[in-house]
Amino acid sequence: MESFRKKLYASFDFALIPIADFLIRHRMTPNKLSIIGLALNFLAAFLILLGGLFIGGFIYLFAGLVDLFDGTVARRGGMSTEFGGFLDSNFDRISEGVVFSAIAYQFAAAGKPETAAVVVLALLGSFMVSYTRARAEALGLEGKSGFASRFERLLLISISLMAGFLELAMYVLTFVTLFTVLQRIWSTYWQLEERKAGIKPPL
């Protein structure tokens, strides 16, 4: 799964190069793109709160594309910094939080408190997917295993908002995020065992 994801990201990165170079020539920085992406996510959340699920989903998807650009601009322009990565990661969590909150509100307002609770669990799962990766990488390990990375989560949410299967998507997202967390915990355990005693994962 991870090798496929790397190839897909590399293809996206290659396609974004001409636009990234244009942005660099016009003095656009990765941090500016991160701020623009955050603002777009707040706009998406506001539109969802107002009931504009389709346009909110479209803006959320567009904000995700902007988020792809900041990494490409950083690499192409030689502007990669530790603070930039830190800022982008924090903005990603804020963006998910405000969009999920707007979605939870919509379900609660529609008289579906149980689905609103599922949205909260999906948000918890999304945060934990990112957290388990960060903790694994802090230990010097690989932490990207599993399906529900930010890119996949963003696609599922934005498409479900536009296509009208949001409730189903929230249940699916809750399952896949929590499953991904378990995968990353398992992977981290075996990597630590391998480091300590040369034990290989069984699969």
Residue 120, domain CATH: 1.20.120.1760
Please state the separation of Cα 180 from the chain's center in Å.
13
- Count the domains in the chain: 1
Q: Is residue 88 part of a domain?
A: yes
- Nearest partner of 142 among 183, 95, 198, judged by Cα: 183
Q: Is residue 22 part of a domain?
A: yes
Q: Is residue 203 part of a domain?
A: no
Q: 95 pLDDT band (50/70/90 cuts)?
A: very high
Kindly tell me if the per-residue pLDDT of 57 is higher than 90.
Answer: yes
Structural domain for 184, as ranges = 2-197
- Output phi, psi for 80, to 5 deg: -70, 125
Q: Is residue 202 part of a domain?
A: no
Give me 162's structure tokens.
């536009």
Distance in angstroms (rounded) separating the CA atoms of residues 197 and 31: 42
Q: 201 pLDDT band (50/70/90 cuts)?
A: low
Q: Is residue 126 part of a domain?
A: yes
Give me 150's structure tokens.
């930010």
Kindly tell me if the per-residue pLDDT of 158 is higher than 70.
Answer: yes
